Structure 1
Amino acid sequence: MNASQALTKTRQFRNLLLSEHLQFICEAHNGLSAKIVQEAGFPGIWASGLSISAQFGVRDNNEASWTQVLEDLEFMSDATRIPILLDGDTGYGNFNNMQRLIRKLEQRNIAAVCIEDKLFPKTNSFLKGDAQPLADMQEFCGKIKAGKDAQTDPDFCLIARVEAFICGWGLAEALRRAEAYHQAGADGILIHSALSVPDEILAFKREWGNRCPVVIVPTKYYATPTDVFRQHGFSMVIWANHMLRAAVASMQKTARALKESEHLLSIEDKVAPVSEIFRLQNAAELLEAEERYLPRGAEGTSAVVLAASRGQELGELTEDQPKTMVKVQGVPILSHIVDAYNAVGIKDILVVRGYKKEAVDLPNLTYIDNLEFAETGELASLSQALQSRKGRFQPTIVSYGDVLFNKYIPQALCQEQDDCVIFVDSNWRDQSSYARLGGFAECSVPNSRKAFNAKIYLKQLGKTVPEESIHGVWMGFLKLSSSAASQVNDLLLNMLADPANRRAGIPQLLQELLKRDVPVRVLYTVGHWLDVNSLEDVVQAGNF
């Protein structure tokens, strides 16, 4: 951290204002432009009233309310470490409005405000300036005093902007007003001129001397060498609206090019890459914060969807497509499955195809084809899927291509740290038809309030579990950790070497894991899923 970063923003600005050297600050009008100004090396920011109103698409006549300006300032302040001087127009009202403005600026860590001695609502100085009336000098002095009385930070600065030259009153009036504002407590004077030469502001500075810091805005007399300002002892130069004007010119050029060419090649190499926008937004900080504060959840988790079978029980619906592509609510079952995984952040999804594999063609999925789907079962498909990941195993959720589910299911599976985790629906008496998925489950503890915080494990699974021992029905979901995926990959190769397991399903895998004393964690639920196993199920799925 450098010295300026250790100082408050108000102290930084006061040091700039009182510096023995000429200082420069640059206009910004939102958080992004403010950060760009900071990165360019400027020690301070001018929050231009013209630019802020323009980026809202309204006139510089107080058409943007002062609360809208405050909201914009808050984003600018949060995005930067350097001080901001607000172009506060006329203070947005009388002395009472001025005091409230100062309090709100301090709350948002704004270092200073500049107010001009014209009437509210203000008119931009470069629009018929000589026809604009000046504020009553004593009333404006009262506004300055009220603002200084309202501040709680002694380093907060109030700059009084003298518009006498703009309104055609001449040097004498400019000096008279500047002295009155200085005596009222202004920390600096901004002397403004609409001439294309610096004659007025140089004449003012010669007469004014060094009573207090003098700030200038050389927008109109831009050809004046900067050394002239140094030689005359000015304190600060404001580059007042050039960030906005540069942005407008670039956007106009880009819009015209896109309209004429109708393709992005005409402009892509002339605009900032999206990665630069992310950098300015500090997207990396959010990613780091997610690592610290968010549960690991689905990050790094993949899914395997077993969808090789036809689903002959659906009759004509699966003559030309597998069951996973049967439409529910206008889209294939597989789309619903993918959406549920995507909703919790699982994007790496591998689908094992078989029957009418060419019909399974949803985008952004990885496909593995079980060409022997007619003679093999789920274990063969799962083995092919895991074999394709060999050497780069990761946490994996295995599910079926004909089971719809709420995103709560994969979300809960991802949050568990156990190597092997399954879901069991304890409402098994209403789910007896789903026993085809693998039968009934006996668990270490039945589903109850007492089991809410307990770790529950599978004891046995199958269609022959005695009714008095049944705690639920397995729902067709299996989550494997990275190490478990590797172990299951090896186990499947051994199991499939036995011809008797050629048509075996995942229930046989779970039974084998239990035989080897591998703990299989159980999560209970009631509902949140639907096995599409008949034409009636297809109809019911429309309301899932």
Structure 2
Amino acid sequence: MLHAATTASQKRQALRSALVQPTEGTALLRFIGAFTPLSTSLVAGKGFEGVYVSGAVVSAELGLPDIGLTTLTEVAARAAQVARTTDLPVLVDADTGFGEPMNVARTVQVLEDAGIAGLHLEDQVNPKRCGHLDGKQVVPREVAAQRIAAAVRARRDPDLLIMARSDARAVEGLDAAIERLKAYVDAGADAVFPEAMLTLADYERVVSAVDVPVLANLTEFGKAPLFTHAQLADVGVRIALHPVSLLRTAMGAVERALDALATTGTLEGEVSSMLTRARLYELIDYAGYNDFDADVFTFEVPDGKKGLQA
């Protein structure tokens, strides 16, 4: 009720432990993009291991393209809202860190205060663009490594996961991307995110080249195939990310409902596919709030001077 029962520190430690010592059935951690804080209850209820705050989703919800227009304040606010509602670790897309090394340091501490378990920083130029669009540009490897080093130095909780993302696969080729990721690990990155890998063999090469966990981004309508979790686990990937899937699913349903309403004048035919009122109340724990209220207000208010004298 109100806030997650698990502290930010506990969530960070849990994520670290799961990555270092996977238990049976959790060799691959599945992080699902939460397009709203309400959706975290569904993600946790279905047994997934983590929640993600996508930069593309934050910008889309603001009616903006994913081209570096969102601010640290906007991302941190959404990250805090999401982290508040879930006991799962929350990974956040911190884009390029919203600037250069000093900006990156501030980004890390602001997001750390938001209660997240980890964040990733990328090597695109600032402002960046969606990782699956053409025309991306990356900064020199040394500059990107400085961003990672600044992030590592700025964190106050050593359990905060700093992940390095590289978009160089589409710009400079796989070999260059791997060399970049190795440099980012040398700079202190705890995990890596090779963007827009085209084959399972690409992932296998990355896994073999670094000694930290590797994330696979599974975004629909992108350049990369939608590999299964089993396929990714087989080549050693440790985190499977579904960044925009819930937003796309929800907005698709919204558009279909609007089409039906415009055509028929009623949503009667759509009701069966809607989240019920009872399920909504369950997800936001109406019963828990009601019980809390009952416990708080089951006292008798003293009246008049007698109450003041007491």
Instruction: Give the TM interval when normalised to the shorter protein.
Output: 0.7 to 0.9
Structure 1 residue 228, shift from structure 2 partner: 2.9
| Paired AA for residue 81 in structure 1 | D
* Aligned-partner SS, 1:453: helix
State the superposition RMSD in angstroms: 2.3
Select the residue among 89, 95, 105 that pairs with 2:95: 89
Q: Give the match for residue 48 of structure 1.
A: 54
Q: Within 1, Cα distance between the matches of 2:168 and 2:95?
A: 15
Where do 1:176-255 residues align within 5 Å? Answer: 176-193=179-196, 195=198, 197-206=199-208, 208=209, 210-219=210-219, 220=222, 221-255=224-258
Structure 1 residue 96, shift from structure 2 partner: 1.2
| Paired AA for residue 227 in structure 2 | T
Structure 1 residue 296, shift from structure 2 partner: 6.7
Whether the 8 Å contact between 2:194 and 2:216 is mirrored in structure 1 is yes
| Paired AA for residue 266 in structure 1 | G
Q: Within 2, Cα distance between the matches of 1:239 and 1:149?
A: 29
Select the residue among 137, 145, 148 that pairs with 1:144: 148
Structure 1 residue 251, shift from structure 2 partner: 0.9
Q: Within 2, Cα distance between the matches of 1:266 and 1:226?
A: 35
Q: Which runs of 5+ in 2 are unaligned?
A: none
Q: Which has the larger radius of gyration?
A: 1
Q: Within 1, Cα distance between the matches of 2:277 and 2:228?
A: 37
Q: Give the match for residue 269 of structure 1.
A: 272
Where do 1:3-82 residues align within 5 Å? Answer: 8-20=10-22, 21-82=27-88
Question: Are 1:278 and 2:130 counterparts?
Answer: no
* Aligned-partner SS, 1:31: coil
CA displacement 1:86-131 (0-9 Å, x = unmatched)? 0111111111111111111221210000111001111001121xx2
| Paired AA for residue 18 in structure 1 | V
* Aligned-partner SS, 2:66: coil
Structure 1 residue 290, shift from structure 2 partner: 1.7
Q: Within 2, Cα distance between the matches of 1:242 and 1:179?
A: 30
Q: Report the number of matched residues.
A: 295
Q: Within 2, Cα distance between the matches of 1:101 and 1:223?
A: 31
Q: Within 2, Cα distance between the matches of 1:94 and 1:140?
A: 9
Q: Within 2, Cα distance between the matches of 1:222 and 1:291?
A: 52
* Distance 1:225-1:276 versus aligned 2 partners, 3 A rule: closer
Where do 1:134-173 residues align within 5 Å? Answer: 134-167=138-171, 169-173=172-176
Whether the 8 Å contact between 2:200 and 2:235 is mirrored in structure 1 is no
Q: Which runs of 5+ in 1 are unaligned?
A: 298-414, 418-451, 456-544
CA displacement 1:358-407 (0-9 Å, x = unmatched)? xxxxxxxxxxxxxxxxxxxxxxxxxxxxxxxxxxxxxxxxxxxxxxxxxx
Give the percent of matched residue pairs that are identical in Structure 1 and Structure 2.
24
Select the residue among 237, 257, 260 that pairs with 1:257: 260
Whether the 8 Å contact between 1:10 and 1:155 is mirrored in structure 2 is yes
Q: Within 2, Cα distance between the matches of 1:223 and 1:86?
A: 21
Q: What TM-score comes out, normalization by structure 1 length? A: 0.51
CA displacement 1:67-88 (0-9 Å, x = unmatched)? 0111111111111001001011
Structure 1 residue 201, shift from structure 2 partner: 2.8
Structure 1 residue 50, shift from structure 2 partner: 0.9
Q: Within 2, Cα distance between the matches of 1:140 and 1:223?
A: 28
Q: Within 2, Cα distance between the matches of 1:229 and 1:199?
A: 10
Q: What TM-score comes out, normalization by structure 2 length? A: 0.87
Structure 1 residue 172, shift from structure 2 partner: 2.0
